[in-house]
Every structure is written in structure tokens, then in C-alpha cells.
Amino acid sequence: MDSDRIVQLEEQVRALATRVLALEAALGSAERPLPPDDVAPGEIDFRLMQRLQNRRDGIFDADGVGGAIVYAGDFRNEQTTAAWHVERPVPYLAGYDAEALATIMAALGHPQRLALVQLLLRGPHDRQQLQEVLDISSPGQLYHHLHSLLDAGVVTQRRRGVYALMPRATIPLLAIMAAAVDISQDYQKQLAEEDE
């Protein structure tokens, strides 16, 4: 399908969406539909996918690999808000310092540390709260895990004994967690299919 036809179809969909909105408003619909250019949660953003697939030269194709990765998010808790949108060329990621990446992955590679990150998503906590909620018996264990997260730039110590996520790390951490969920679910599905 050529790009002129795609544009024509998008315009027709927008026109239909506008008419549906007007009809629903006239009927007093209780639900507010998404704007015509918005994408419902869980749906594929085809315009974004097309834009990514069109990244074909320069920094987006090098050393035998090509493409782009995009992640974005909006986060809020009682203390902070964060919004983030990043696009990274695949060749950049494929050539990035493996040791630097391993530092982050290793810091997140322990269940207790991930539990710390999940807890700190709710806001800053002091070491006693962290120790109690995570049921860590010794302060030494807690400090070991916190030290790994501090060294990786994931966590910051706001004041003596009070820890929080680094604001700039919040959305990237959630993106890593989301990717891990996707990989885990796909892997579990594959294992289940192999067992059948």
C-alpha cells in the first residue's frame, strides 16, 4: 500500500471518528472515546512502527545491524512526577560499552534489589522501613544491596539513611522491568508449548 493511500485512509478514519464523537455526544454517552490520533492501551501504534521502520540510514544502520528502539513513560507518586521519551539507534546500543551495561544489569539482577526498586517506586524510604518491608534480617545485607544500586546510579541517598530512586532513572527502570516481563512471559509460553 503506497503512502498516499495510507494518508487517505487515515483521513477517512479521522472523519469517521469525529462523526462518532458527535453522535455519542448527542446521545449523552458516558464513556469518553480516545481522540482520533491516540492509541488505546495495549494497541499497536502503527504510525510509530512505520516511523521506526523508515529509519534506514546514517546512525540507524551500521556495523551489520539497523533499526531503532523507542521507550517512553509517565510516572507519578506522591513525591514526584517524571515523563520520558527516548529513541536509541540499534547500532548505538549494539556497540555500547558492555561493562557499563553489565553494571546496571548486575545491580538489577538480584530479587532483593528489584524488590527495593519496586518499593522505592512508591517514594523515599528510610533504611529501617526498607529492612522491615523486605524482611531482610541484617543491616549488612540491606547495605550490600543498596550499595550496588547506588553505584549503578539507580538509587540516591537523599539524607542520612533515606533512599530514593534517581529521578532520571525511574522511567528507564520501568522500561527495563516491562521488557523483562515481556521476555519472561514469552519464555514461559514457549516452555509450555514445548511441554505439550
Residue 21 burial (10 A CB sphere; 0-12, 13-18, 19+): middle
Q: What does pTM read for this prediction? A: 0.72
What are the pLDDT digits (tens) for 70-108?
A: 998 999 988 888 888 899 999 999 999 999 999 999 999
What is the structure's pLDDT at 29? 47
Q: Worst-scoring range by mean pLDDT, 100-114, 141-155, 181-195?
A: 181-195
Considering the chain, what percentage of its residues have pLDDT values greater than 90?
Answer: 42
- Say if residue 115 is in the same domain as residue 162: yes
- Say if residue 62 is in the same domain as residue 135: no
- Boundary (domain end) residue, out of 75, 96, 117: 96
What separation, in Å, do the N-terminal and C-terminal C-alpha atoms of the chain show? 39
User: What domain range is 25 assigned to?
Assistant: 1-37
Over the range 182-192, which residues count as b (16 or more CB within 10 Å of their CB) and which as e? eeeeeeeeeee
Q: What is the mean pLDDT of the chain?
A: 84
CA 122 to CA 129: how far, in whole Å?
Answer: 12
Q: Worst-scoring range by mean pLDDT, 14-28, 38-52, 97-111?
A: 14-28
- Boundary (domain end) residue, out of 96, 111, 127: 96
What's the number of domains the chain is made of?
Answer: 3
- Say if residue 123 is in the same domain as residue 153: yes
CATH code for the domain of 109: 1.10.10.10
- Say if residue 1 is in the same domain as residue 30: yes
- Say if residue 102 is in the same domain as residue 139: yes
- Say if residue 191 is in the same domain as residue 110: yes
What is the structure's pLDDT at 12? 78
